[in-house]
Structures are given as C-alpha cells and as structure tokens.
Amino acid sequence: MIVYQETKKQFLLDVRQDLIEEKIEQKVREKLHKKTSKNEFMAWMNSMQYMYRVMEDQKIPEDSRVAIEYRIPNSNKRVDFIVSGEDEQGRESAVIVELKQWQKLEKVESKEAIVKTRLQGRIVETTHPSYQAWSYVSLIQDYNEDVRKYRICLQPCAYLHNYKLQRADDLLAPCYQYYIQQAPIFTRGDAQKLADFISRYVRKGNSEVMYHIDQGRIVPSKSLQDSLASMLRGNPEFTLIDEQKVIFEKALDFVRHSTRKKQVYLIHGGPGTGKTVLAVNLLVALLNQDQNVLYVTKNSAPREVYRKKLTEGKYRKAYVDNLFKGSGAFTESLRDEFDCLIVDEAHRLTEKSGMFQNLGENQIKEMIHAAKTCFFFVDDFQRVTIRDIGSTEEIKKWAVYFDAEVFEDTLISQFRCNGSDSYLSWIDHVLEINPEATDDFDHDYDLRIYDTPEEVYQQIVKKDELHHRSRMVAGYCWNWISEGKNDPKIHDIQIGGFSKSWNLGSTSTWAIDPDSVSEIGCIHTCQGLEFDYVGVIIGPDLRYENGIVTDYTQRAKTDQSLKGLKTLMKKDPSQASQIAEQIIKNTYRTLLTRGQRGCYVYCVDDQLKIYLKECLKRRKNKAEEME
C-alpha cells in the first residue's frame, strides 16, 4: 500500500507550497487509520525539502511517479521514498530511497551490517542504511508477484541528508562495502549525485510501474518449513531485517566471544514477529561455524514438519534427528556438552520430562546446564497448558542459579497477519488479555466472523486450492475418539449438522499433509507453524456475558492441557481459575494468529459471535470517520 503517490511535477508543487507533510499525514490517517507522531511529521517536513532539491533536476522526467511511505506487503515496514518510470532500455524501473536524519554513527566491525548511532535519545545498534534499503527491496521482491512478473528493476539507495561525511568515515568502512555496492549511500551535499543516480534508472515516465508495485498480486511469503532444506544448503531464503538482523549478529558475536561463564539470551516476540525464522537462521549460521548446536522445541509439530521437509531434501534421517530435539532430551546431559542450544517456543517448556512426566527435574535448568550458550525464544502470552513453565521469570531464575550472563532483546516487526500489529492488539483487546491493547486495526488483514462452521470450512477449502497452505483449527472442546484416530469416517467434532475429524492419527505433520484441509487441527498441532489462511472454531470454553468468560469445564476430557487443575482448584480456587483463564485465552490468541493473509472465525457461543461482529463494525465505523 502506498500512502502518498503523485507525479514528480505535483510532488514538487506540494513541497513548494508547504503542503507535503500535511498531505502525507492525511493519507496515513485515511489509508493506515493511524495518527502521526510529531517526530514523524517533522521528519517528513525536513526530508522532503531535501528530496525536493534532488527531484527538481531536469534529467528526472516530470511524469515520473513519486511514492512516499509504501508499506511492504506482509510486513509493517514502510519504504520512505520511491521514484518510478522506465530506464533507457524501456524496462520498468524504480529507485528505492531510504531516508535518514542521522548526523553521525560508529562502525561495529564484529557484526555484519551493524552500526551504532543515536536513536530516540540513546545510542543503539541498528542496521547500516545500505543494508536496510537492500533488505526492503528483497522483501518486496519476495512478496510482490508483479514485481517479478514484469521484471521491475528495483534499485535501493540511502540518503543521509544531515550527515556531513568525514575523512575515513565509519559510514563507508570496508566492512560495509558489499551492501554499499548493492545500495549506494548519499550524504549531505550529495543532492546532485543522488539526482544523477535516480536519472540513470528513471529516464521516462510510466504510471504502470507504480501501479504494479502498489497493486501487484501478493503471493504469501515463502513458508519456513518449505525453505528449510535450502537454508541448510547455504542458500539465503529469508532476509533478516531491522531488529532481526541486529539480534542475529549480536547472537553470533556472543558465541564467537564466549567466556567461561554461561550465557543465556532471551529473545522476546509475539506471534508472527519472526522468532522461528531468526532461530533457524541462527541454527544454520552456527552449524557453518562448526558449533555443536541443536534446535529444541517442546512441541513436536514444528520439529516433525522440519524433519519431513529435510528428509525430502535428501538429508539423512539420522542427521536430521540429531539436529532437532525435544525439550526432554537433556535430563542426563553432561555440563557444557553442547556449545549452543536454540530453544524455540520456550514458553512451552515444562518441569518434568518423559511420557509420564517422571524424568528429570526442570527442563530449563537441564538446558542451561547442558550448554555454554542458550537462546530462549519466548512469548509469555503463549502459555497454553497448565504444565508450561517457560516464563521469562523462570528462565532468569535458573540463569542466576548457574551464574550465567543474561541478555534480552525483543522482536517487534510483524510478518504474519499481513504485517498488522494492530490486528494483534485487537485480539488482545477483545479477548481482554492486555488492558492497554486497543481495538484499532486496519482492514488490510482479512478477518471475517461467520454464522456457521460450514461457511468457514467452505472458505478455507477455497483458499487452500491456491497454494495448499490453508487449514482449519479449533479450541480443544471435543473429545478425541480413540477408535477414530485413523478413520476419516468417524467425526470427533459435531456442531449441529457440521462434523469433522480431528487431525487423523494425531499426526504431527498435519500442517503440511496433502489432504489435511478436510481435518481440524488443535493448539498442539499448529503452535509454532503458520498458514496462508486459518479458519478458527471458538468452542464453548469461551463465551461473552457482558465481558469475556472462560469455562474450563467445557474443555475435552481427552485434552491434557488442564490436567491437574481440579486438584489445584480444591487447594487454591483463585489461582486455579486464573491459570485456566490465561490458558484458554492464550490458546485462542495463538489460533487466531496462525494466518498470514486472513482469519475466518465461527463462535459456538452466539453472544460471542455478536460481540466480535460489533467490535469489527465499530472499527469499520472509526475508519470511515477518519476518512
């Protein structure tokens, strides 16, 4: 989505008349339904004056198109400035300009493409401007089918118009030369050089180019499970951007400069912030550094999906099995037996291990004991069983026990739910999970509330025909009929005339099994995975009665998530009720965020359905008022 789009001629007029920042602000309100901060408004006021000096060059055609604040598909990232048209050969072409207000920076040679600079009043590590511009172009090429179809040449660059270049400046240090070659950098006094650069790629106007970029068909991003084998062969499948790249480089640096003390690195992030992408990239990088490293998850579903994809990719099963481990594999490990453990979905860790929960003492303790460095990827709002103990507080407790150095970082960028941070906030608001969450969410994400489960299922089947990556899931409110686990004729879930089976054989590869769109998955077979579209059946354990009400008695007897709750209810009813409510809400929060492009919902409770529809209607009315 492009916020502001005009011809070069109109852009120059808007700047000359001091209208540009107000027009951008108005378009942000209309299209993104967001208010503009004072700092952002002042940044437009400043930067557009500099771009005016660049764009008034006569070599840049007057009918070339200018776009400001283009939101990259399937992410919440925005490109600052685009100039589009045709090059000398008549090819569709666009120059992507990353604008920076920076005045100085410091190189960080130990980490690829990372610099230190002052942002929001403090010195922080962030990506080099050339890397940022290059990575944004990579994202556009990955997501926009029309960019590939029309072979649009996207040329990135960065313009630091307040930056006065010094002799032997860190900005141009040799360690950044690869990315500077990909995305040239311009500084204060380089307006003419930037104009020459743009005119090299845009010699003639062509309105179709910006149309293809803005309205191009968005093919969902490459699925991690489909790209894993290629990544392990050394092929770059996912470009890490912004804080992903910063954390990735920091993690590698920790390992390279590890001391005798143990290290514990907590990486926080909500659904869709790229925790698993970062974890697998880290796994590949550490393997390439000959580190003794394992990828660990409590939930078997992502491990089995990765195993299947890797064995299909001609990797030996023994190699794959040794690379991906369950969280209970370290009860007898020696101290520092491994260089690194990468623990994904760490919030799902438990105390005891084994089928009967009779092995070991504490999985967090055992992992920190077993490795010199542990990376824990955590979302404290994804605890979905009573046994889940992998909270930030618990991990820090055991880090102190081992006298380990503790580091923390947070992933913010949103890559699922069409990059809509506001959709996640909307979920937290309507489920009453976070009192600070709001019901402001933009409608780029396809959220629909249906009156019947049949309607949801029909829509998911239709979506699955496109790429075979859409699935149905449900709250665990229907018993798993034991004699029907491998019989598609036996349907566990019955809602009026609608009936379906839980995923057959409780298969842990249900998410990618060819015909599994006809089955329904649960929290245990989809957590840690993602789909293009997800259909969610909210069971009777979540209702609306002048507020959100949870009812653990409506959970299936075959569900082990709340095992032990009845005993706890007798000892401490208040604590037990609080735990049950948290688990039920977190379960639906997780299910509702599995979809890349959209989520279709059916509620067993009629009042909850009415409430959700009203919430959506209020949001739509707000958006119309802002327009």
Q: What is the pLDDT of residues 322-354, one digit of tens each?
A: 788 899 999 989 899 999 999 999 999 999 988
Q: Of 528, 447, 411, 305, give the one whose Cα is nearest residue 75.
A: 411
Domain extents in the chain: 2-215, 224-411, 417-626
Which residues, other chains included, contact 185 with Cβ-Cβ below 8 Å and sequence gap of 6+? 129, 130, 157, 158, 159, 160, 171, 172
Beta strands in 182-234 (DSSP E): 185-187
- Pick the more confident residue, 627 or 49: 49
- In this predicted model, what pLDDT tens digit does every residue of 167-204 receive, in sequence order? 999 999 999 999 999 999 999 999 999 999 999 999 99
Q: What pLDDT does residue 466 have? A: 84
- Residue among 507, 487, 491, 490 nearest 499 (CA): 491
18: Cα within 13 Å, side-chain hemisphere: 1
CB 596 within 8 A of CB 74: yes
Q: What's the pLDDT score for residue 314? A: 66
**In Å, what is the CA distance from 216 to each residue of 11, 144, 145, 285, 414?**
23, 6, 6, 33, 21
Do 226 and 309 meet the contact criterion of CB atoms below 8 Å apart? Answer: yes
Helix (H) or strand (E) holding 49: helix 38-55
151-165, 402-416, 422-436, 525-539 — most confident range = 151-165
Asked which of 63-72, 117-126, 316-325, 585-594 is least confident by mean pLDDT, the reply is 316-325
- Lowest-confidence pick of 26-35, 82-91, 450-459: 26-35
What is the value of pTM for the model shown? Answer: 0.75
**Structure confidence by residue, pLDDT tens digits, 539-585:** 999 999 999 999 999 999 888 888 888 888 999 999 999 999 999 99
Do 468 and 546 contact (CB within 8 A), yes or no? no
Residue 319 has pLDDT above 80, yes or no: no
Average pLDDT over residues 600-612: 97
Task: Look up tokens 């119309």; give the residue.
Answer: 624
Residue 622 reports pLDDT greater than 70: no
pLDDT bucket at 231, cuts 50 / 70 / 90: confident
Token reading at 102: 């920076």
Exposed / middle / buried, residue 268 (Cβ in 10 Å: 0-12, 13-18, 19+)? middle
Q: Is the pLDDT of residue 512 over 90?
A: no
Tens digit of each residue's pLDDT (9 = 90 or more) over 356-385: 788 999 999 999 999 999 999 999 888 888
* pLDDT beyond 90 at 616: no
- Residue-wise DSSP of 353-415: BTTTT-B-S-HHHHHHHHEEEEEEEE-TT---STT----HHHHHHHHHHTT-EEEEEEE----
State how far the Cα of 198 lies from the Cα of 160, in Å rounded to an integer. 16
CA angle 370, 372, 376 (to 5 degrees): 80
Structure-block tokens of residue 602: 């059916």
Average predicted confidence (pLDDT) for the chain: 89
Confidence band for 617, pLDDT divided at 50, 70 and 90: confident
Q: pLDDT at position 567, please?
A: 87
Residue 101 — φ and ψ, nearest 5°?
-90, 0
Q: Are 95 and 82 in contact (CB under 8 A)?
A: yes
Long-range contacts at 320-326 (CB < 8 A, ≥ 24 apart) = 322/294, 323/283, 323/294, 323/295, 324/294, 324/295, 324/296, 324/297, 325/294, 325/295, 325/296, 326/296, 326/297, 326/298, 326/300
Query: Other C-beta atoms within 10 Å of 592: how many?
Result: 23
219 versus 495: which is more confidently predicted?
A: 495
CA–CA gap between residue 338 and residue 374 (Å, rounded):
10
C-alpha span between 274 and 249 (Å, rounded)? 15
- Using CA atoms, how far residue 513 sits from 454, 456, 504, 526, in Å, is 22, 20, 10, 12
Cβ neighbours, 10 Å, residue 210: 25
Question: In the structure encoding, which two tokens stand for residue 16, read together?
Answer: 């000359």
- Residue 583: per-residue pLDDT: 93
Topology given in CATH for the domain delimited by 224-411:
Rossmann fold (3.40.50)
Residue of 573, 615, 572 whose CA lies nearest to 592:
615
